[in-house]
Amino acid sequence: MSVVDAGAIAAKVVDVLRHRAVPVGISNRHVHLSQDDFARLFPGQNLGVSKPLAQPGHFAASQTVSLRGPKGVINNVRILGPIRTYTQVEVSATQARELGIKPPVRMSGDLEGSAGIEIISEHGAITLEQGVIIAKRHIHMNTFDALLFGVEDCQSVNVLVGEAPRTVLFKDVVIRVDPQLVLEMHLDTDEANAAGLKGANDVGEIVFQE
């Protein structure tokens, strides 16, 4: 007669859940706008929805802007909605070089001392003294996922991404716990290219020291 060891089964289930694939979303350069800055760039308009994103309520807007730095211009930069309380621009290190600016690697919202930029639309322009960052790689997850993975908000983990011959172990990946958001790792285009990601159905695996 076999004895069911509930503890051993539970441990196995948790082990499977801890090693499950984390969907990877690749963030191309984009802009989040405050209501005031949006109104300056697009007077009389509402932020239009072009495409919903994986995170509930988040979307690529129909409006785009250009970014102008000391060394160059990047056109067709998507605005991501919804409207935020502050304006923030996210670029890759490669794009920062094209623009001629030196943004710090930061988490979203941590803008003190970040880089400046000019944002241009067909109707107007605004100059930011600060607000440009290179987004620090991170994983969004809800409270239940955090419990299963055994991680906490703001903790850093290692994540294995990509396939041979371009497999990359990303260190310093910050966990962001938010009950409203779904499990998704965010990398920028430099990081995605380094790992040979395809931009669709990419996944990573959190690597735990065991």
Contact positions toward Zn ion, by CB under 5 A?
A: 186
| Nearer to Zn ion among residue 29 and residue 68 (C-beta) | 29
Pairwise CA distance, residues 73 & 75, whole Å: 6
Handedness of CA 158, 161, 163, 166 (dihedral sign): negative
Min dist. Cβ of residue 148 to Zn ion (A): 20
Min dist. Cβ of residue 139 to Zn ion (A): 8
Count of beta carbons in the 10 Å neighbourhood of residue 83:
17
- Is there a contact between 48 and 63 (Cβ–Cβ < 8 Å)? yes
| Nearer to Zn ion among residue 25 and residue 124 (C-beta) | 25
Min dist. Cβ of residue 168 to Zn ion (A): 18
Residue that has been written with the tokens 């290179």 in this structure: 134
| Nearer to Zn ion among residue 126 and residue 139 (C-beta) | 139
Count of beta carbons in the 10 Å neighbourhood of residue 167:
11
When computed from its CA atoms, the radius of gyration of the chain, rounded to whole angstroms, is: 20
| Nearer to Zn ion among residue 55 and residue 66 (C-beta) | 55
Min dist. Cβ of residue 190 to Zn ion (A): 16
| Nearer to Zn ion among residue 32 and residue 186 (C-beta) | 186
Min dist. Cβ of residue 166 to Zn ion (A): 22
Nearest residue to Zn ion on Cβ basis:
186
Min dist. Cβ of residue 140 to Zn ion (A): 6
- Is there a contact between 53 and 79 (Cβ–Cβ < 8 Å)? no
| Nearer to Zn ion among residue 68 and residue 137 (C-beta) | 137
> 107-124 burial by CB neighbour count: b if 16+ within 10 A, else e?
ebeebeebbebbbbbeee
